[in-house]
Structure formats: structure tokens, C-alpha cells
Structure 1
Amino acid sequence: MKRSMLDSVIDQWLVVPQVETANLSGKTVLVVGANVGIGLEASKHFARMRPARLILACRSEAKGKAALAEIERETVYNGCELWILDLANFASVIAFADKFEKEGGDLHILVMNAGILQHVYQPTTDGWESILQVNYLATSLLSLLLIPQLVAAGRKSSTPSRMVIVSSGVHYWITPTEEVRASSKPLEMLGSKEWCTPEHMQSRFFESMLLKVLFVRALTDRLQSITPLSAVAANPGFCYSQLRRFWYEQPFSFAKMGLLIRERLLAWTSEQGSRQLICAAVGGRDNEDSVKGGFVNRSRFVEVADFVLSDGGHKMQDTVWNETIDILKGVSDKIAPIVQDYLIRP
């Protein structure tokens, strides 16, 4: 599918679909990046569906506690829990997954919403470029580490579990450079300081959103059809969000003024954007097979970008998957057994 900037503008001007609802009694929901914006609003919607447990994974304890109080105040739901997680630190991700294995029990819905946007190169303590680690590598790491809990819940339930990876419609507008597509280790190239020039960093957020779509589709290809788990990517749309706080903190510029104008003309509220996450998490239950590996836009499962569907896209998808698994095997010794026990060769 090809989608232009005009298509996205039209989407933003159309009536926003209503939020979907479901009976989540007895189920466990985990929302990563739940303290602000669409993650917080999605958590409120989940709270109104009364799951047995709603776990908010946040980097800041203070902001997490504030979100917890706001959800309880607005929804009169007291099943929220705050767990601390920093995707910019692989050790934090591993500790979180270990804690969930011991204390979390089965997991019915996972929403990987946390992400960052910046235009300067900044490495994490693990040595990776920050956007690449937070938006993609750490997101993939936690998603894979939680597969046993997701599958266990699906096997005990009448419906498959859902893994929702929050991506973006900007994946329609990015085609990796020829050098990246030709590389046997595109992630290593993208994460290198030499590659992360100011020019290349302008497209890094777009690239990370494309990588998320590739991850969802690659994972789906490797899940047996009988495995009770559906992985879905979701586009929350252009919303008012703390994601762009990098821009808000900058001194006045024409670029900043342009962003503020675009927000005033086009942006949805965070609550409206969160409805797409909810659709990805509970929608389409009448045709689960069509949901697997799907992409949600305006509360509908739609076709992804032409590049993703192309031969070159399939080749890059497999290359990135293999490199991702190789990298994450070096981060956690649990990745290899999970890949062996739960996934197959496509």
C-alpha cells in the first residue's frame, strides 16, 4: 500500500472511531510506557474493562505513581500495579522479565508503547544509539522474553493472547538506504556512531517504526498457526504527546513553529490516539487469523507499506530478524531457548 502525506492529513480530519470494549475479567494486561500520553489513556480504557491485573511499566517511579492515582481516580479501578522499567538499559529489561516470570503469572495482553524521538546521536549505557535501543531492540527483547507467559495465557483462555507493538504510519514514508538494505548487519550499521550523522538521524524515528513492523511480521511468520498468540502493530496517528518533547524544549525556530501549527490543525488528543492501541489489543476477535501480523490504522486492519511487502522488504525483514536474535542472545541467555521452544523456521 502507498500512503501519501495527504492521505494521513485526511485520516486526521476524519471522525475518530469509537473505542472498542471487551470483557477483561480474570485477565492480566501490561502496558509499557503507561505514565503519559497514549499509554496512560490506553491504560484508563483497559481499567474500565476491569481486568484482574493492570500492570503499568514506567521508567519514572514518581510519574508512574501519578499515573496510577489518575487512573484510579477517573475509573474507580483498584487493580493497577506500578512496575519500573527502563528500555534504555538492557539489564532493567531482563530484571523486569525475570520479575514477571516469578510474580506476573499468565499475560493476556502486552502493549509495547514506550518510545523516544530525538534528532541527535546519544548512545545508551549498553552502547547502542538510543532510539534504536528503546524503540526497537529493547522492545523486541521484552516482547520475546514474555512470549512464554503470553502463550500460557492463550492456552488457558478461549482467545489467543495479544502482543501489541506501537508503531506509526510514518513507516509508509521510509525506504532504507541502499547501503542499509545491502548490509548483512543493518542494525549494527544503523547504530554505529559513524552512521549516525545529523542527516541520518533525521530519519531514525521513521526507521525504528519500520523495524517494529518488520519485527511483528517476522515473529508472526515464525509462530505456528496453532500458537495462541497474535502479534499486531498499531498506528496511534498524529497525537498531542510527550513523544515530541525534544522539540518542545528547543528554542524558537521555524521548524518548531511549523510543528505547533501542524498540531493545532491536525493532532488528535492522546485519548483518541489510544483507541488504536485498544483496537489492536481487543479488536478483530471474530477473525483472529486476519489479525495475526496485522497493522491497525484508524481502528481497521490495513495493508502495510509497499516496501514491506516487496521482495526487498522480505529480504530485509529476515536479515533484521536474524541479526536481532543474534544481538539479543548476547543480552539474555533466555532468548535462544524461547526461540527454540516457541518459534519455527518460516
Structure 2
Amino acid sequence: MKKSLLNSMIEQWLVVPPVETTDLSGKTVLVVGANVGIGLEASKHFARMHPARLILACRSESKGKAALAEIEQETAYNGCELWIIDLANFASVTAFADKFDKEGGDLHLLVMNAGILQSDYQPTTDGWESTLQVNHLATSLLSLLLIPQLVAAGRKSSTPSRMVIVSSDVHHWITLAEEVKSSTKPLETLNSKELERMQSRYYESKLLNLFFVRALTDRLQSITPLSAVAVTPGFCYSQLRRSWYEKPAFSFASIMLAIRERLLAWTPEQGSRQLIFGAVGGRDKEADMKGGYVARGRVEEVADFVLSDEGHRMQDAFWNETVDILTSVSDKVAPIVQDYLVPGASAN
């Protein structure tokens, strides 16, 4: 599928489908990146469905507590829990997963919403460019580490568990550098300061999110009661772009962003409806949801590059390198990959 910028703009003017609802009694829901924006609004929608547990995973304790209070005030739901996680720190992610293994029990819905958009190169203490680590590597790490809890819940339930990872329509408009395409270690190449392309780094990270969902789906047996779903929330008002708001008030970038938001942006609540659909919608077509890409309340075809032979090759290359990197981060990754996944189709 080729989606032009014009088509994307037109979609922003269309009516947003209503939010999906279901009964989440007895279910555990985990939303990572839940204290502001679409993550907070999605958490409110989940709260109205009365899950047994709704865990908000946030980096800031103070903002997380404010989100808990806001959710309870607006929904009268008092089953929220605040857990702290910092995706810019692998040790924080593995500690979170260890805590969930001990205290979380089965996990029915996982929503990986946390992400950042940086305008300059900022490495983490783990040595990775921060957007690559937060948006892709740490998101993939936590998703893999929670597979046992997701599968356990799916086996006990009448419906498969869902893993929802927030991607974006920007994956349609990114072209990977030739150095990345030809590299045997594309992530390491992207991480190089010499290949600093911060103007496209967020786009690249959202493509990697989509690659991860599709590669994971290729490696999950069809009988495994877990569906991984990629979601685009659309173009919304968001604190994701707060670094751009900090630019000089009358800079060209800040003026163009303000105009674009005024003309096109959805509210965070409207964007959150796509996360909810990815988590609870499409149950009558579960096979379509597995590895699907959700946009405006339906499964939509992804970019032509993702579907191409070259796209499949890059998807496998990024998957293999991601697993290798994360295996060195946590000794639990390799056993999970071995016990729950099978080789991808291209590896057969």
C-alpha cells in the first residue's frame, strides 16, 4: 500500500470511529506510558471496562500518581496500580519484568505506548541512542519478557491475549539509508554517531516497531493464544513533540507544527481509541489481528516496502540483531525465544 501525505491528511478530517468496549472483569491490563496523552486516555477507557487490575507503567512517580487520581476521579474505578519503569535504562526494564513475574500474575492485555521523539543525538547509559533504545530495544525487551504471562493468560481464557505496540503511519514515508540496508548489523549502524539522522530517527523507530510485531507473529505458532498487533493512533495533540515546543516561539518549525496541529490533529482521546481497538477489537477476525496494523478502527495494509522482499529481509535482520542484543541484556530472553517461538518463515 502506498499512503501519500495527502491521503493521511484527508484521513485526519474523517470521523473517528467510536471506542470499542468489552467486559474486562477478571482481566489484567498493563499500559506502558500511561501518565499523559493517548496512554492516559486509553487507561481511562480500560478503567471503564472494569478490569481486575489496571497497571500503569510510568517513568515519573509524581506524574503517575496524578494519572491515577485523574482516572479514579473521571471513571470511579479504583483498581489502578502505579509501577515505575524507565525504558532508557535496561536494568529498570528487567527489574520491572522480574517484579511482574513475582507479583503480576497472568497478563491479558499489554499496551506498549511509551515513546520519545528527540531532535538531537542523546545516548543512554546503556550506550544506545535514546530513541532507538526507548522506542524499539526496550519496548521489544519488555514485550519479550512478558510473553510467558501473556501466553498463560491466553491459555486460561476463551480469547487470546493481546500485545499492542504503538507504531505510526510515518513508516510509509521512511527510507532506510543504504549503509543500514547493506549492514550485517543494521541497529548498530543506526546507532553510530557518524550516521546521525535525527530528523528521521522517530520514523525509523516506528518502522522497527512494525517490523517487531510482524517478525514476532511469524515466529508464534498459530495455536499460541497471543496476538501481537501494531497500531497507529493517528496525528494527535501530544507531549511527544514537547522538545519542538521548546524551540524559539517564532521558529519556522514551531510555526509549521502549530499550523499542522490546528488543522489536522485529533485529541489524545480520539487517538487512544486505536489503542483500545488493538487491545479488544476485531475478536471476530482474530487471524487478521495477528500481526495486523490497526488504523481508524480497522486492520489496514502496511507500506509497500514492508511487504517487499527487501522489507522482509530487513525485518529478519532487525529481528535477529534485536534478539542478539537483548539476549546479552537479560538471560531470560533466549529461553523465552526458544520455548515460545519457532524460526521465522524465511529461516526455514
Structure-1 residue corresponding to 2:122: 122
Q: Equivalents in 1 of 2:216, 2:294: separation in Å?
A: 17
1:209 has 2:206 as partner: yes
Q: Equivalents in 2 of 1:303, 1:8: separation in Å?
A: 14
TM-fit CA distance, 1:106 = 0.2
Structure-2 residue corresponding to 1:317: 315
TM-fit CA distance, 1:182 = 1.1
Which digits, 9 at most, give the CA deviation of each residue in 1:160-207, with x for residues without a partner?
A: 0000000100001112122111111000000112211xxx11000000
1:136 has 2:136 as partner: yes
Q: Equivalents in 1 of 2:150, 2:173: separation in Å?
A: 32
Structure-1 residue corresponding to 2:62: 62
Q: Specify the SS of the correspondent of 1:330.
A: helix
1:305 has 2:303 as partner: yes
Q: TM-score, normalised by structure 2?
A: 0.98
The one-letter amino acid paired with 2:111 is V
Residue 283 of structure 1, aligned match among 270, 275, 281: 281
Q: Equivalents in 2 of 1:29, 1:162: separation in Å?
A: 10
Q: Equivalents in 2 of 1:183, 1:22: separation in Å?
A: 45
Which digits, 9 at most, give the CA deviation of each residue in 1:124-181, with x for residues without a partner?
A: 0101000000000000000000000000000000000000000100001112122111
Q: Specify the SS of the correspondent of 2:195.
A: coil
TM-fit CA distance, 1:306 = 0.4
1:182 has 2:179 as partner: no
Residue 235 of structure 2, aligned match among 210, 233, 238: 238
TM-fit CA distance, 1:52 = 0.2
Q: Which runs of 5+ in 1 are unaligned?
A: none
1:27-46 equivalences under 5 Å are 27-46=27-46
Structure-2 residue corresponding to 1:6: 6
Q: Equivalents in 2 of 1:271, 1:182: separation in Å?
A: 41
Structure 1 runs, 4 residues or longer, greater than 3 Å off: none
TM-fit CA distance, 1:119 = 1.5
1:17-32 equivalences under 5 Å are 17-32=17-32
Q: Which runs of 5+ in 2 are unaligned?
A: none
Q: Specify the SS of the correspondent of 1:194.
A: helix
Residue 330 of structure 1, aligned match among 308, 328, 331: 328
Which digits, 9 at most, give the CA deviation of each residue in 1:75-95, with x for residues without a partner?
A: 000110000000000000000
Q: Specify the SS of the correspondent of 2:82.
A: strand
TM-fit CA distance, 1:251 = 1.1
Which digits, 9 at most, give the CA deviation of each residue in 1:311-333, with x for residues without a partner?
A: 00000000000000000000000
Root-mean-square deviation (CA, aligned residues, Å) is 0.5
Q: TM-score, normalised by structure 1?
A: 0.99
Q: Specify the SS of the correspondent of 1:170.
A: helix
Matched residue count: 343
Q: Equivalents in 1 of 2:202, 2:102: separation in Å?
A: 34
1:342 has 2:348 as partner: no
Structure-2 residue corresponding to 1:101: 101
Structure-1 residue corresponding to 2:154: 154
Structure-2 residue corresponding to 1:264: 262
TM-fit CA distance, 1:14 = 0.4
Q: Specify the SS of the correspondent of 1:31.
A: strand
Which digits, 9 at most, give the CA deviation of each residue in 1:56-84, with x for residues without a partner?
A: 00000000000000000000001100000
1:145 has 2:138 as partner: no
The one-letter amino acid paired with 1:166 is V
Q: Equivalents in 2 of 1:109, 1:195: separation in Å?
A: 37
TM-fit CA distance, 1:257 = 0.3
The one-letter amino acid paired with 1:263 is E
Which digits, 9 at most, give the CA deviation of each residue in 1:236-284, with x for residues without a partner?
A: 0000010000101111201110000000000000000000000000011
The one-letter amino acid paired with 2:19 is V
Q: Equivalents in 2 of 1:287, 1:247: separation in Å?
A: 40
Residue 224 of structure 2, aligned match among 219, 223, 227: 227
Q: Equivalents in 2 of 1:290, 1:257: separation in Å?
A: 40
Q: Equivalents in 2 of 1:182, 1:214: separation in Å?
A: 17
Q: Equivalents in 2 of 1:217, 1:275: separation in Å?
A: 22
The one-letter amino acid paired with 1:222 is R
Structure-2 residue corresponding to 1:294: 292
Which digits, 9 at most, give the CA deviation of each residue in 1:197-248, with x for residues without a partner?
A: xxx1100000000000000000000000000000000000000010000101
